[in-house]
Amino acid sequence: MLFDLSLLILTGVVTPSLAKIYEDVADLPGLEYDFIIVGGAAGNVVANRLTENPRFSVLVLEAGVSNEGVIDSIVPFFVNNLLTGPNAYEWNYTTTPQIGLNNRSIPYPRARILGGCTAHNGMVYTRGSAEDYDRYAAVTGDPGWSWDSLLPYFFKNEKWTQPTDHHDTRGQFNPSVHSTDGINSVSLNGYHWPIFEHHVLQTTRELPEEFPFNLDFNSGQMLGIGWLQSTIGGGKRSTSATSYLAPKFAQRRNLHVLLHAQVSRLVHAQKTKQGAVTFATKEIILSAGSVGTPTILMHSGVGDRKALTALGIPSVLDLPSVGQNATEQPVIGAGWSVNSTQTADSISQNATRFNEAYEEWNRTHTGPFVDIPVTHIAWLRLDADSPIFENVTDPAAGPNTPHIEMSVGTGGFAATGNFISFGMVVLNPTSRGSITLQSNNPFDPPLIDLGLLKTDFDIFTAREAIKRAYRFVQAPVWRNYIIAPTTDLSNLSTDALDEFIRNGAAPAAHLVSTAAMSAKDASYGVVNPDLLVKGASGLSIIDASILPFVTSAHTQAAAYVVGEKGADLVKERWR
């Protein structure tokens, strides 16, 4: 049956207003728009692209606050400040007890700020492998989701920007796979740690078979180790708000943004006594992210009929896949103390140097605060003869797709001393979780079960990732640089190493698939390849929740491309 959603219930809270960004429902110029977009990083992309047509009116509903002046979001070096504790720019969620993490409940960062997770993430720009996207095309039966078809959208999004120190970038990236004509800034690091960077690159020469150099892992061919690329421009974080809602776009007469507008549910009724109501005459677009989007759907009666009925929510459209298939990548850290003072620790542990660096950033947007303290990323595959493949089918999208990410950074493990650090990510987890409701109250947080490290493949890959980091620092170049590991894992038994992993692993905050895309005739999934909700009319989903599998990468670039592609799909429907 067709399901026509035309109304939204939201709450409005008075806050300081910005140019075309409104502070309260009462301040909106009207309550009827062609398109209403509910929040999120990709939502701002869609809003920008739809309002290129002056005939379309668009309202963006953002549950959070303005990104203006939020220094912890703006300064790249402060990357962890918004991710490591409760704050006003977060939903401040906590997961359910995670079986694979020894029943730990852990904070789960989800942004509540204009720009969505692009305003608080690690800024790492990684597209994934070409095979990731070709698999999307295969499972949906739509070649428009292939790597070759989506590459123009990567280019449409990306504005390749010179790093702030204007160093010679030859040999650090491949210009032919980047664009200078897009909207969202992407750049190489603008501050350098020469000794550390030399050692990383020398490792690719000394151990080339295991750690080959890759000129540009954003070419679609990821394997190897290459220079970090980040969504940073001019020494500042680039977000979907600072780019797609920049002043030259926000001043469009047909683009309206309302802050502090938390959408509780979608309704049919012409009138409601709860909150305020706005009308979409053409389409409602959910871009609330992999937690927010399924939560709104379920409170609207869209989801598993039995589960919703049990909570007293009338079922409007029975879609059991809503909130299911949640896929998150676990991350594990390891570090070594080093015989060098050229690390980020020399800044973070020294108040004088920290203040000097901040003053430099304020004056010229140069210095160590223009980057995150990571210089390179390695993308690695498990050995083809790994024993895990005797019982498990390789979950990677293809033979050129990595299983492990190993970010290589300087600093970060103690109050004193100097360190190097490795962040290892299981890129293709086979564990699955869910987003479900704990009640029929839309202001109660959802139940977030990430399902981390529940399968043999995931714990095996995490174990192998740590072993790769240990092999990396065994290259001869590190001999007089490394002092000792922060925790010696080299001689642990398998059980002891697994215990270390389960007690220390965390989510990478790359959640996808909770409103997954599937073929139009599939009996599972939430949206069709055109991103319209199955069985509904006038309702689409455009965010990372639609990805059928997680990319073998950070998901920011994929979310931007979903936004760009999704905007074109909407335009095509209403041309």
Q: Which of 181, 185, 178, 182 is nearest to 164 (CA)?
A: 185
Residues 6+ apart with CB under 8 A from 391: 456
Measure the CA–CA gap between 432 and 328, rounded to whole angstroms. 8
Tokens read off for 42: 């990709």
Residue 397, CA distances (Å) to 128, 333, 423 in order: 10, 25, 22
* Spatial separation of the C-alpha atoms in residues 53 and 192, rounded to whole Å: 43
| CA separation for the pair 517, 67 (Å, rounded) | 30
CB atoms within 10 A of CB 285: 31
Residues in Cβ contact with 270 at an 8 Å cutoff, skipping those fewer than 6 apart: 7
Has 122 been labeled as part of a binding site? yes
Q: How many Cα neighbours within 13 Å face the side chain of 40? A: 26
Q: Which helix (H) or strand (E) holds 279?
A: strand 276-286
Would the annotation count 121 as a binding residue? yes
CB 515 within 8 A of CB 293: yes
Give the residue among 259, 189, 218, 219 at the shortest CA–CA distance from 27: 259
Give the residue carrying structure tokens 């959802």. Answer: 446
Q: What residue type is assigned to position 266 of the chain?
A: L
- Sequential DSSP letters for 386-444: -GGGGTS---SSSTTS-SEEEEEEE--SSSSS-EEEEEEEESS----BEEE-SSS-TTS
Name residues whose C-beta falls within 8 Å of residue 505's C-beta, 6 or more positions apart in sequence: 100, 101, 330, 331, 332, 452, 453, 462
Interior angle at CA 53, CA 52 and CA 58, nearest 5: 85
Q: Which ranges of 210-275 would DSSP assign to H, the alpha helix? A: 240-244, 247-250
Angstrom distance (rounded) from CA 160 to CA 165: 15
Residue 222 marked in a binding site = no
**3-class state of residue 302 by DSSP:** strand
Contacting residues for 439 by C-beta, under 8 A, at least 6 apart: 311
Would you give the distance in Å from CA 443 to the centre of its chain?
Answer: 24
Q: What is the DSSP letter of 376?
A: E
Ligand-binding annotation for 100, yes or no, is: no
Q: Any idea of the CA torsion for 374, 379, 382, 384, to the nearest 10 degrees?
A: -160
Catalytic residue list: 510, 554
Known binder of ligand: residue 124? yes
What's the helix, strand, coil split of the chain in %, to 5?
30, 20, 45
Tokens at 230, concatenated: 């980040």
Q: Which residues line the annotated binding site? A: 121-124, 263
- Annotation: binding site for FAD: 121-124, 263
